[in-house]
């Protein structure tokens, strides 16, 4: 059973996974590259829990208990006694591979190392370590506290025991688990991203306005969000990286990123996280 989980990365997903794990009763060590961002993550968690108390969704005593389970650190060595470490840093294979080398060095031999990657090959991260049998994907969805699914990803090196432990952790977090194999996009993103990419291409071709594309898919398919709103939520840099990984794997033109997406990333219009994407957001 996972008693202590390390989360590496203080972005949208790292913060959400930390909240989910702490609420499930697990000790959480949050690691960011600077102590200031690690502390900011805890401040964000405090805010999120306070809102839940206000709305009557969480007892005040539970809020205190959840916060008591979370430690924010900048030193990777602080992950030494975690049973499970989930990395949720930038979607870039070289960066993730380097992190896995470091995690293998600092974490206990029996610890499981997991990635929250959306599309990248888990086996390549596993092979950076001396424990490729104890590496898997644990793929949460955005926002992690609300979305019910986790894809547990089996690389060709992953052992049955590792998959069982990852499934047990995700289930303890209250999530529905699906088993997927280590292929770009797994299930959800392999199906979702051609749709999102084609929405950008429709917008660029002037087939409909931004608002009408989103309204069409909400009204016509009963989706809770339109595709352009969803891209802003995911982050356009992460979306571009996901499409690039899918295209690299399959060479399917549906996965070739819409050129305007790349231009928006260059212009740092990354969506909600930078205050502007397809929509503008107050910061
Ligand atoms: N955004 C989503 O909807 C979503 C959903 C599921 C999974 N994911 C995956 O989660 C991971 C993180 O995505 P996110 O949306 O939280 O991104 P984000 O941009 O919000 O956060 C990325 C984090 O990585 C850190 N980082 C950047 N470069 C780094 C480096 N060289 N070394 C260490 N840390 C570094 C940043 O400081 C930041 O804290 C990615 O693998 C992504 O594919 C994202």
Catalytic residue among 87, 124, 151, 229: 151
Q: Is 88 in the pocket of ligand 1 (CB under 6 A)?
A: yes
Q: Is 139 part of the annotated catalytic residue set? A: yes
Q: Which atom of ligand 1 is nearest to the CA of 95?
A: 31
| Tokens at 192, concatenated | 């979702």
Among this protein's residues, is 98 annotated catalytic? Answer: no
pLDDT at position 1 is: 87
The Å distance, Cα 88 to ligand 1 centre, comes to 5
Q: Which of 10, 15, 118, 197 is catalytic?
A: 118
Task: Please say if 189 is a catalytic residue.
Answer: yes
Q: Name residue 8's beta-bridge partners.
A: 31, 87
Give residue 282's pLDDT band: very low, low, confident or very high (50, 70, 90): confident
Neighbouring residues of 205: CB distance < 8 A, sequence distance ≥ 6: none
CA–CA separation, 114 and 153 (whole Å): 9
CA 273 – ligand 1 centroid, Å = 11
Respond yes or no: is residue 198 known to be catalytic: no
Segment 121-141, tens digit of pLDDT = 999 999 999 999 999 999 999
User: β-strand 27-31 against 70-73: which pairing, if any?
Assistant: parallel
Residue 283 has pLDDT above 80, yes or no: no
**Predicted local distance difference test score (pLDDT) of residue 113:** 98
Residue with the smallest CA separation from ligand 1 atom 6 is 141
Integer CA distances (angstroms), 224 to 39, 62, 83, 199, 216, in order = 33, 30, 36, 16, 11
Nearest-CA residue for atom 31 of ligand 1: 95
pLDDT computed for residue 45 by the predictor: 94
Average pLDDT over residues 255-276: 97
Ligand 1 within 6 A of 257 CB? no
DSSP 271: B
Residue ranges with strand state E in the chain: 4-8, 27-31, 70-73, 84-87, 112-115, 135-140, 149-154, 176-181
Helix, strand, coil shares of the chain, percent, nearest 5, are 50, 15, 35
Cα-to-centroid distance, 166 and ligand 1 (Å): 20
Mean pLDDT, residues 156-164 taken together: 98
């Amino acid at each position: 059973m996972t008693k202590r989980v390390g989360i590496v990365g203080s972005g949208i997903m790292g913060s959400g996974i930390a909240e989910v794990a702490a609420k499930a009763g697990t000790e959480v060590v949050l690691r960011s590259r600077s102590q200031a961002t690690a502390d900011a993550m805890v401040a964000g968690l405090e805010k999120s829990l306070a809102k839940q108390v206000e709305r009557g969704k969480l007892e005040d005593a539970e809020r205190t208990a959840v916060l008591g389970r979370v430690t924010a650190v900048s030193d990777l060595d602080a992950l030494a006694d975690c049973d499970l470490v989930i990395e949720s840093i930038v979607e870039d294979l070289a960066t993730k591979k380097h992190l896995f080398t470091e995690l293998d060095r600092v974490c206990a031999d029996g610890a499981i190392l997991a990635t929250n990657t959306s599309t990248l090959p888990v086996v390549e991260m596993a092979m950076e370590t001396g424990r490729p049998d104890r590496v898997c994907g644990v793929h949460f969805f955005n926002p992690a506290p609300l979305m019910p699914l986790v894809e547990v990803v089996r690389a060709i090196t992953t052992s049955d025991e590792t998959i069982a432990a990852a499934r047990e952790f995700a289930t303890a977090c209250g999530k529905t688990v699906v088993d997927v194999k280590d292929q770009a996009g797994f299930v959800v993103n392999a199906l979702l991203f051609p749709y999102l990419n084609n929405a950008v291409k429709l917008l660029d071709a002037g087939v409909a306005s931004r608002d009408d594309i989103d309204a069409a898919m909400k009204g016509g398919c009963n989706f809770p969000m339109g595709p352009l709103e969803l891209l802003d939520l995911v982050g356009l840099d992460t979306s571009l990286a996901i499409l690039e990984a899918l295209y690299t794997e399959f060479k399917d033109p549906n996965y070739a990123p819409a050129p305007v997406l790349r231009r928006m990333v260059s212009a740092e219009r990354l969506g909600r996280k930078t205050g502007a994407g397809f929509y503008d957001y107050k910061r």
